[in-house]
Amino acid sequence: MEVATLSRIGLAGLAVMGQNLALNIAEKGFPISVYNRTTSKVDDTVHRADAEGGLPLLGHRSPQDFILSIQRPRSVVILVKAGRPVDQTIATLSAFMEPGDCLIDGGNEWYENTERRIEEASARGLLYLGMGVSGGEEGARNGPSLMPGGSFDAYQNIRDILEKVAAQVSDGPCVTYIGPGGSGNFVKMVHNGIEYGDMQLISEAYDVLKHVGGLSNQELVEIFEGWNRGELESFLIEITSDIFRVKDEFGEGELVDKILDKTGMKGTGKWTVQQAAELSVAAPTIAASLDCRYLSGLKEEREAASKAFSEFGLSEVLARPAVDKKKLIEDVRQALYASKICSYAQGMNLLRAKSVEKGWGLNLGELARIWKGGCIIRAVFLDRIKKAYERNRELPNLMVDPEFAREMVQRQAAWRRVVGLAIEAGISTPGMNASLAYFDSYRRARLPANLVQAQRDLFGAHTYERIDRPGSYHTEWTKLARQNKAGVSALN
């Protein structure tokens, strides 16, 4: 095969994400070879490439032909289901690869699997990248946010491709070299955890506006459209306004009201919360969003509970408080904004803690920059998050950046009003509650942890420190309490 006829890159795995990313690469002028174990998907992709303008995409039915059709050093993107299918695909393809060639896993993989595969690939002379891809089907086709981590040489080999394929924002393409090891997958995992929190907070804003404010879906369209023209401008706010527009094709009203209230998940949110616990990083907003997905899955139990409590006179929504709709809408907007800042702060703190543990050297400002376009959590305030970390690379928490601190203070009264109204109405807002509790705990110089530490010392002799002198101390609390009690009794 003549060098001129070889593809610049290959992609294996032609489900929705793989097919769209392959077409994106081809559309940007990079000849690409594609392969899938189910050959009908290869044919579908080739037909799409022809239909969308004769894009330079070549389909292959055998793994050997696929690999041999790519320029050396070969770079092959894998987009298959995480776990064993990735290992099986690597085994199939690497049999025909040579030292210096590179594998790029673009799935939502557990970062330690990527680190294992880096070592296994290295033993065979191959390079390896674990690359987070965010943006869903539309992002993959038109410009995703890309988070490659692993071999820097492998990244350099395809940097020009990734920079053209990624979403484009004012300060560059939404891709950067994340760092060594499994850092790319870890960053994508935390991105998804922030996404969980974001979606939960938006759903709570909707719940309060609908059940406390009594707003219709048409009113919600206008509210979310308005919010998307201000500080809340983001992909998730934009699509939420679209959702409220869609009519039910099978009956009256809007489709959103006919959707079963059970939320699915694929595991990255759970991994994020587990890692937060492992690293002793508080992430209550993200954890609350995960708990809500678990609770949503208990549909039959919740229906039975609603019936059981109603027999004792407790309705699902308590008496609706009298509210000024215009004031409520503004309060909810401010509460949502402040809560979102807490969610992003928690995610950034988790990334920093893991970076320190693993020595990855993550640049939090740069991560905020590449999330400004293409990805699900893209939002206008990510530019301000980027600037906050540029002002102070060692910023301990996003909330204490002077700009964000001022805004949190300005919005906290509205935030408290919304949470209070929700509690009064019996509407659960666990994400907003968790964010507010996080804010209130973090801003206090002294917490009631002194009592908890005293309890631990009493029943487990765990010792404690004092605020007025150095060292660790242990007190015979029960003995002294009894002596003091006896002394008081004697005086009486």
Residue 465 has pLDDT above 50, yes or no: yes
**Averaged pLDDT for residues 273-291:** 97
Of 384, 294, 396, the C-alpha closest to 337 is 384
> Cβ of 3: how many Cβ atoms within 10 Å?
7
* Catalytic annotation, pick one of 188, 354, 372, 386: 188
* Catalytic annotation, pick one of 27, 109, 115, 195: 195
CATH of 449-490, one of 3.40.1350.10, 1.10.260.40, 1.10.10.10, 1.20.5.320: 1.20.5.320
Compute φ and ψ for 390, nearest 5 degrees. -70, -35
Residues making up the binding site for substrate:
108, 134-136, 191-192, 196, 266, 293, 456, 462
Confidence of residue 242 (pLDDT cuts 50, 70, 90): very high
- Identify whether 195 is a catalytic site residue: yes
- Identify whether 249 is a catalytic site residue: no
Residues making up the binding site for NADP(+):
13-18, 36-38, 80-82, 108
Model pLDDT, residue 267: 83
**Averaged pLDDT for residues 465-491:** 89
Model pLDDT, residue 492: 66
Question: Is domain 9-177 in CATH 3.40.50.720, yes or no?
Answer: yes
Q: Is the dihedral of CA 272, 274, 277, 283 positive or negative?
A: positive
Tens digit of each residue's pLDDT (9 = 90 or more) over 66-108: 999 999 999 999 999 999 999 999 999 999 999 999 999 999 9
* DSSP track, 103-121: EEE-S---HHHHHHHHHHH
Residues making up the binding site:
13-18, 36-38, 80-82, 108, 134-136, 191-192, 196, 266, 293, 456, 462
Tens digit of each residue's pLDDT (9 = 90 or more) over 82-93: 999 999 999 999
E runs forming strands in 100-193: 102-105, 127-134, 145-150, 168-169, 172-173
Strand partners, 169: 172
d(CA 462, CA 456): 6
Rounded to 5°, the CA angle 149-153-154 comes to: 60
Model pLDDT, residue 3: 42
Tens digit of each residue's pLDDT (9 = 90 or more) over 193-239: 999 999 999 999 999 999 999 999 999 999 999 999 999 999 999 99
d(CA 373, CA 352): 22
Domain limits, the chain: 9-177, 188-443, 449-490
Of 31, 103, 105, the C-alpha closest to 73 is 103
Query: What's the pTM value of the predicted model, to 2 decimals?
Result: 0.92
**Averaged pLDDT for residues 148-167:** 96
Question: Is domain 188-443 in CATH 1.10.1040.10, yes or no?
Answer: yes
Tell me if 129 sits within 8 A of 184, measured CB to CB.
Answer: yes
